[in-house]
Amino acid sequence: MSNLPKIAWIGLGIMGSPMAENLIKAGYAVTGYTLEQDKLERLAGNGGTAATSIAEAVADADVVITMVPASPQVEAIAYGPDGILENARRGALLIDMSSITPQTSIDLARAAGEKGIRVLDAPVSGGETGAIEAVLSIMVGGEQADFDAARPILEALGKTIVLCGPHGSGQTVKAANQLIVAVNIQACAEAVVFLEKSGVDLTAALDVLNGGLAGSTVLTRKKDNFKNRDFAPGFRIDLHHKDMGIVTDAARTVGAALPVGSVVAQLVAALRTQGDGGLDHSALLRGVERLSGYPTEG
């Protein structure tokens, strides 16, 4: 039998499913729970075990990992008689990899500590591709000893894994990440429209730009989305809208000005209001197109 810790995985969405599968590939026994039956079948088909409830999933787990959309979902799965804290064993390690508010992470760590459950907040960056390829950047908040215990698990999921400080610090760094990514996507989208309207070959232009100081992981990962207008969701506008709310609220709390970030947050919100919330965040290009007089979709 394996001496590796037994893992419960809660939340098998666009990111969660491939991440859980990477742990299975690394030799971990993974029991999963999510609301979508097809996702449970996918997990079972890849060597995991499907649970019928959170309580069943976490009962025998050494480590519980959660990957759900936002703070309300984290609170829903963590608290209450059917939640993680009431059903996980004392001494278990809860690693929340969702992107939520720093305060939610701090509150969760405090409540879990009263049950003898250790907690790390460990949000990720890298999108669906990074999850599939196990090259995510993982920013962690919590205690050093818990981080050290979790590192082998996190190394099966990502390449850049950093303890950023106490509980909530991982979420604060993730908020900054989402600020940078949104501003970067918006700048790339504006450049695309500028280049096209100027009659420049877009492929050639993006290739040479990406080889210089304007180059970025965003441009590398998203240039085909821009060129092909392929906005199948790797990371949805709806979720980036949520994250921009987190960073603008947190920045207001600490007195940090976000003049450009605040504008981009409004552009993300506008795109969502226009019905594009389910598209990939590279669809910020659609907002620039509308402002630039491109023909509207029929």
Task: Assess whether pLDDT exceeds 70 at residue 2.
Answer: no
Domain count within the chain: 2
Active-site residue identified among 174, 222, 223, 242: 174
266 lies in the same domain as 244: yes
DSSP string, 52-85: SSHHHHHTT-SEEEE--SSHHHHHHHHSSTTSHH
Do 143 and 132 contact (CB within 8 A), yes or no? Answer: no
Same domain flag for 161 and 49? yes
Taking residues 234-241, what's their average pLDDT?
94
Residue 66 belongs to some domain of the structure: yes
The amino acid that residue 295 corresponds to is P
Q: Which of these three, 166, 181, 209, is where a domain ends?
A: 166
Q: Length of the chain in residues, anyone?
A: 298
Q: Among candidates 190, 179, 121, which has minimal Cα distance to 154?
A: 121
24 and 148 share one domain: yes
Range of the domain at 56: 7-166
- Any catalytic annotation for residue 227? no
- What global pTM score does this model have? 0.92
Residue pLDDT, tens place only, 255-289: 999 999 999 999 999 999 999 999 999 999 999 99
Our measurement of the distance from residue 161's CA atom to the centroid of its chain's CA atoms, rounded to an integer in Å, reads 14
Which of 136, 166, 196 is the endpoint of a domain?
166
pLDDT at 19 over 90: yes
Q: Which residue has the higher pLDDT, 184 or 296?
A: 184
**In whole angstroms, what is the distance from residue 193 CA to residue 124 CA?**
30
> Do 24 and 138 have their domain in common?
yes
CATH of the domain at 104: 3.40.50.720
| Among the listed residues 205, 210, 229, the one whose alpha carbon sits nearest the alpha carbon of residue 294 | 229
Quick one: pLDDT band at residue 56, thresholds 50, 70, 90?
A: very high
pLDDT reported for residue 296: 73
Amino acid found at 189: A
Let me know if residue 158 belongs to a domain. Answer: yes
* 239 shares its domain with 136: no
Percent of the chain with pLDDT strictly greater than 70: 99
Same domain for 78 and 213, yes or no, is no
- What is the CATH classification number for the domain harbouring 240? 1.10.1040.10
Question: Is 2 among the domain residues?
Answer: no
Q: How many Å apart are CA 10 and CA 52, to the nearest integer?
A: 11
Average pLDDT of span 75-103: 97
Residues 219 and 158 in one domain: no
pLDDT tens across 162-180, in order?
999 999 999 999 999 999 9
pLDDT bracket for residue 298 (50, 70, 90): very low
Q: 38 by DSSP, 3-state: which?
A: helix
Phi-psi region of 199 (alpha: psi -120 to 50; beta: other; left: phi over 0): left
